[in-house]
Every structure is written in structure tokens, then in C-alpha cells.
Chains A and B, each alone.
Chain A
Amino acid sequence: MKPARLVAIVFLTFVGISALVPRLWTPDSYETQLREAPDAPPSARFPLGTDALGRDRMARLLYGTRVSLTLAPAAALLSCIVAALVGGLAGLAGGWTERIVLAGLDLFMSLPWLFLLLTVRATLPLNVSALASLSITFALLGLLSWPASARVVRAAIHGLRDSDFMLQARASGVTPWRLIWRQLIPNVMPVLLAQFWIAVPVFILAEATLGMLGLGVSEPLPSWGSLLRELEGGNLRSQPWMAAPAVLLAAVVGCFQLILPREDYSI
């Protein structure tokens, strides 16, 4: 195993355990407001200081990691599954089916999805818990963000469909389902995984943007998106520890890329 991959696995395990058991690092809850100590600098009790309401930044980062590392990949997975199904259908079928699906994708991509999200949020009941509200947001993101990935998948399958090894497999009498399972899916998997890893940070940042429009996480639940929003009004020169969520996001996404090298994508 390459050292970089080992380091990435250790780091991700460390982050995962810390997110699952935040009490290992901090006794405070993510929602407890210590109003006598707002915007406190890092200390032994608060390794990342406190936020504007006096809440422990470390606790909020760890709970936010748990929320975002569960929901953002789930939304990315949902998006990739829909993209694989629709893109796969278009790429395999070809002809009129492909043209109709492509036209549908273009139409879907031209929709002002932000307004659609806002409309959906405006019609949701008000008395839903913060976690339920956030789950709905990520589900909507997953269900609305698949068309671009579907186009990529269609292009990949379109190329594979007429390749020599597929021709040989068909000539050998391989059944269509076996062809898809043994030949197409393994070859298109790197494309899907790439789409997945691109989507995860995009969804996290999209949740931060949506928060500004009232569609993101609601108080007091933290998420990486809501923590990144604090950077907007913050002063990194005097409070560099505020960059911790951004650093952690970059590190986690980078580590995921390292532990899933291209040669291991086959199933």
C-alpha cells in the first residue's frame, strides 16, 4: 500500500471517529451558547475558539462533519444513480431514444433549479426539525443535479458500445445483462466515481449558498455549509482558526481521492 494512501485512510478514520464521537474532543454541545464568551480565541477548553454566539467551534465542526459527511455523499450517490440509469439508457439504446433523452436532459438543465428549490422550500411545512429540513435539501439537490452527470455517462457508454471488446463479447453470445454487468459497468465506473467525488464538495458548497436563501440548514444544527458561511463575514487575518472547516473539507475530499485510485475502480 502506498504511504499516501495509508495516511489518507488513517486520517479519514480519525475524522470519522471524531465525527461519530465528538465527546472525545469536547465536552460541549454544538448548540450551547456561552454568551459571556462570544468570538473567543482558541484555548484549552475551546481548541477552535467560539463563534459569535459563544458556541464551541470544535463541537460545531465535529457535529457539522457528521451531518455533511452523511448527507452530501448520500445526495451525490442519489444523483449518480439517476445519472447512471438515464445516461446508460440513452447510451445503450442509441437512435431516437438517445435523441429524446438528450433533448430531455437539455430541457432539464435549462430549468432554473434554484427557483425550483426555493418554490419547494416555500411549500414545505414550517414545523420540521432542522435535520429533516437539511435532509430534504440534500435530497432535492441530488434529484435535481444529475443531468450533467447523465450526459457524461451517456458519452462514455456511447463510446464503449461500439468498442472492439464489446463487439467480441456480443459475437461470443454473451447475454445483454451479462454484457452490462461484466463489461459496461466496470468500464464506466471510473466515470461515475469521478462524478461522485466532484458532486460531494459541490453539494456541500451548494448547501452553504442555499442557506443564504433560506434553504439550507436551520439553527442550531451545524453543517460544513453553514460553517463555511461564517467565513463570509469573518476576518481570517485576525481569526485564522475560522478557516478550519474549509481546510477540513479540502483534506477530506483530497483523502477520498487518494484512497480510491483509478486501478481499483473495477468490480
Chain B
Amino acid sequence: MTHPMRPLIFVALIAGALNASELRLALHSEPKTLDPLVFADESAEAIRYLTEGVLIRINRLTQQSDPELAVSWKVSDNGKRVTFQLRKGVHYPDGATFTSKDVVETFHTLFDPALHSPVADTFQTEKGTVTITAQGDYVVVADFPAPPTAFERLFDQVAIVSCLAKHRPAPGLGPFLIGERVAGSHIVLKRNPVYWKHQPDGQSLPRLDAIRLEFQQNRDLELARFQRGELDLIDTLTPDLYDRLAKDAPGRAFDAGPTTDAEFLWFNMAPQSPVASYKKSWFQSQTFRRAISEAIQRADLSRVAYRGHASPSAGLVSPANKQWFNGKLSPDAFHPEEAAKRLTEAGFKLQATVLSDATGHPVEFSIITNAGSTVRERMGAMIQQDLAKLGIKINLVTLEFPSLIERITRTLDYEMCLLGLVNIDIDPNGLMNVLLSSAANHPWNPSQKTPATAWEAEIDRLMLAQAASGDASARKKNFDRVQEILREQSPMVFLVHPNSLSAISPGLPGAKPSPFFPHTFWDAEHFTLAGKSAAGK
């Protein structure tokens, strides 16, 4: 028998659903884990950002440190101790009160070697790791073995989980909670009803009722759905799709300027690699490396491959990183004549259209890059043509990612590689695992027992010195010199810094795109969807 009120209930439910203020966007992959202490990919990081609370938040627009769960902090003991005053009256969604016990327990869990957390590694130094202790319910002390630099960024990435939680992820202190999760389809984040943050007028945050994160790998489909109004945001657009959107719907596509990402080539200079010895001698020659760098038209790479949405690069540090970029450096100018002169002086000979070395070997080598990246394939083809003018033959090889990683990290069976680094840490310490000669990720010659060259030893010394120093100007001086050495020696040929391209629906008037991740929803708690009610009011 039909209940007489059923039609009315149905209409009320539909009306409620239509009024619900739900933000919709896509993630390009399903997160491997939702454990906020072990996030390992960009999708998991996005969810952690929206659902977890941290002691300090780096404002993605101003790059300043904003107090979050810590209302203030004080540095003492010659910079080795940071004392955090915690926020009172904050509750987890299960009713538990946030105290210093949660902070201490979080770090205890994070530093457990069995967890294998990449976040924990960032707190490790040569002299040991940080010790976190509670002094009462609302004071936490972090003791570092040496004065930390940019410690605010370290704490921006640590989600403070409840010490009473029996499993992770548990409802956290962020503006949203994980609601529904359908494998292979989507995750719905619900509004945290006890979120501690309020608007200046006292109204509670977040304003949105929910965020629906759909797993959508295909970026064309993502754009089509955005244009149909099924998605409200696209956090990262490719240059092609940006141009298409800017043409079809001007005002919805945003270029927030250069990111900290960098695209570059590097030479395989590892002595133990199976590369032919005569090619190794080319790659180990500074003259040869400089000639390659000067023969590439970076302006064309930016204008053609990136459709104008990138800027030529002078080094690993982007001009977007205003604090650490060495302003004295400018991108290598396009000088094919100068490059040819350098090569002639080094004993290379151009006969007809083929360049040969002093022993008669024609200069031909391969550049590997990852398959599926249209922009990198375009850059590779352009570099191929630029170097052909010097008589150098390039074989461009695209490999699926696991094969590429296998070659550049384990077998070292490659000659040159075209790749990039994304979301590069603003602080130089975040580049230790790339620039130190002993690092496994040192691109051109990884895991060296002792530096192979004097200039690598100098980079090691300068990087360690800046890491140990509490003096900002001394650090800057040391890191500037590191950037200059990289430029002079050119083991990596820096190409471009891509821009941050995103799409925002007109229904989100308050969204402010940033060059730093997450580009569009970094202040999602303040978002209001035009034309939809908000439960928080």
C-alpha cells in the first residue's frame, strides 16, 4: 500500500538534492591510500588537504604561514626549539577534543619506521630527527637536532589525527569529511559539521555541503564535462585544452603564471652506465653540454610546445619562487653559431650534415621520455630539429613510465632523458634528494660514494652549508652559487617552467587560482556556489 505522504517526501528529497551545494571536480587517478600520514600521490594529497587539519598552513596565494591548529609559535634555543600554542575548543567529528596528545601521537605514528611515510623522511636530518613533546594540554614543543629552516612548510604537510582513532583515515579536523567512496568511480566529501573555523561575521565554515571528486583519467572528457556544467573546476589543464576552453568560453580559463615545476634534459654521466665510452666522453665534457644547451630554442619551446603558457628556464628554481630564485641568471640564449664554435674547438668536425667527434664517431644519441605526454613529445621533436642544425642526430624514444624509471634509476641504460619535476619544494632543502651527489635521485650520476667531479663536491658543500645555517642571507648566497654552478656546468639542460592552467566555473566567483598545488581549491572552505543554498548559513 502506498503511503499517502510518499509523493511529498519524494518531492522534498528532490528539492533538497537540487539545493545541496555540492562542488564537483575530477581527480586524474584513484588515490592509492587515504591514510593521511602515508599519502603517496596527488589525488591522495588533494583529499588530505580537504579533510585534515594541520598546525600551520602555507597560504597558496601569499606564500605566508597562516596559523591553523597552532594559534602561534615561538622559536628559541638558537633556533632549535619551536613551541606551538594550540587552538582551544576544537573537536573531532566524533566528539573528541583536540589536545597536545593528538599532536604527539600523530608524530609518534608518523616516525614509526614500519609506516614508511615519505612525510617522515622530510623531518630527517644527518644529526637525527625532531622530537615532539607535550607541555600541558595545549602546548607542544618540537626539538630539532639542528636549527631547522622553513619549518613551517614541514608542518603544513602533517595531518593531525585523533589519538583515539582506531583506524586511519578517521574523521579529521579539516573542513570536509570522507563520506561516500565508490571504487573506480568517485569519493564524496561531506561538510564537517564541527569544523572550528568561522567567518568574521560568525557564520560557520565551510559553506559548501559537499565536494564530489570523480575519477576521470581522460582530460578531454574532463573538459567536455566542465563545459557541460557537470564539473565546477579543473585544477590542471594542458596547454591545448586551455586554449580550446579560452576560445570556447573566455573567462573560464585561468593562467596563474609560472609554477615551480621545471622541464629539463639531462646527460647520463654515470661511469658505470652501459653507454659507449666515446659517448660518455661527450656527456662528461662541459663544452659539449654547454653547446647542446645553447643550440636549443627555449623561446620556441614555450611558444609552440606550450602555446605560450610557459617561460624559458634558467635553472631548477622558477622565477615563481621569488625567495630563492637567483635573479642574476637568465635562460641560455639561442646561439647555434656559438655552439658550433665550441664543438669545433673541442675537436668535433662537421662534414656535410653530420657532426663527428675527434675519433670519427658520428654524433648520434637517443633522448628518452615518457610516453603519453604530448607536450614532451613536441619538445623532443623541436630539440631534434634544433640539434640537427649542428649535425647531431637525435633518436627520440618514448617509453612507458615503469620502463623509463627502470632505465634512469637501476640499469642506467640511456643516453639523455627529457623529464620534469612537479610541485618542487620552494625551500632548497626540498632539492637535497636531487642535488646531493650521494642522492639516489641525483639525475646525471646517482648514488655517488664520493663526488665524481670538483664542481659536484662544491654543490654538496654549499647545499649542506645552507641546510645547516640559520642565517637566511647566508643560505641564499650559498644556494645562488649552486644555481650558478648548475648553469656553468649544465649537467641538466633546463628548458621551461610551465604555467599553472586551470578552469573555474562562473558559479564559483570567489575561487582564486594559484601557481601552487592545489591550484584552485586551496581555500575550498570559503567557496560558495552561486545559485545554491549553503548548509553552513
Contact = CB atoms under 8 A, between A and B. Distances in A.
B400 A38 contact: no
B234 to A, nearest CB: 15
B244 interface: yes
Contacts, number: 80
Contact of A35 (B304, B377, B403): B304
B240 A219 contact: no
Given A33-B385, A52-B304, A218 B374 contact: no
B265 to A, nearest CB: 15
B403 A122 contact: yes
A200 B413 CA distance: 35
A129 B395 contact: yes
Contacts of A122: 399-400, 403, 406
A51 to B, nearest CB: 9
Interface stretch (B111-119, B348-356, B361-369, B450-458): B361-369
A232 interface: yes
A127 B395 contact: yes
Interface in B219-269: 220, 238, 240-241, 244, 247
Contacts of A232: 220
A213 B398 CA distance: 8
Contacts of A53: 304-305, 378, 381-382
B372 A233 contact: no
A202 B459 CA distance: 53
Given A53-B304, A129-B395, A233 B403 contact: no
Nearest to A130: B395
A128 B370 CA distance: 17
Interface residues of B, number: 37
A79 B378 CA distance: 33
Given A35-B300, A233-B238, A126 B368 contact: yes
A33 B301 CA distance: 12
A238 B244 CA distance: 10
Given A31-B385, A53-B304, A127-B364, A218 B395 contact: yes
Contacts of B155: none
Interface string A39-71: 000000000000011100000000000000000
B397 A214 contact: yes
A27 interface: no
B304 to A, nearest CB: 5
Nearest to B368: A126
Nearest to B219: A233
B366 A214 contact: no
Contacts of A38: 304
Given A52-B378, A238-B247, A214 B406 contact: no
Interface in B357-399: 364-366, 368, 370-372, 374, 377-378, 380-382, 384-385, 395-399
Centre residue among A31, A130, A220, A238 by max chain B CB count within 10 A? A220
A235 interface: yes
B414 interface: yes
B415 interface: yes
B405 to A, nearest CB: 11
B400 A213 contact: yes
Contact of A212 (B297, B303, B371): B371
Given A126-B397, A214-B397, A220-B381, 4 more contacts: A53-B382, A214-B371, A214-B399, A219-B377
18 contacts: A33-B381, A35-B300, A52-B305, A53-B304, A53-B381, A118-B403, A126-B368, A126-B395, A126-B397, A127-B366, A127-B395, A129-B395, A211-B371, A214-B397, A218-B395, A218-B398, A219-B380, A238-B247
Interface of B: 220, 238, 240-241, 244, 247, 297, 300, 303-305, 364-366, 368, 370-372, 374, 377-378, 380-382, 384-385, 395-400, 403, 406, 413-415
Shortest 5 CB-CB distances between A and B: which pairs? A214-B371, A126-B366, A122-B403, A214-B398, A219-B381
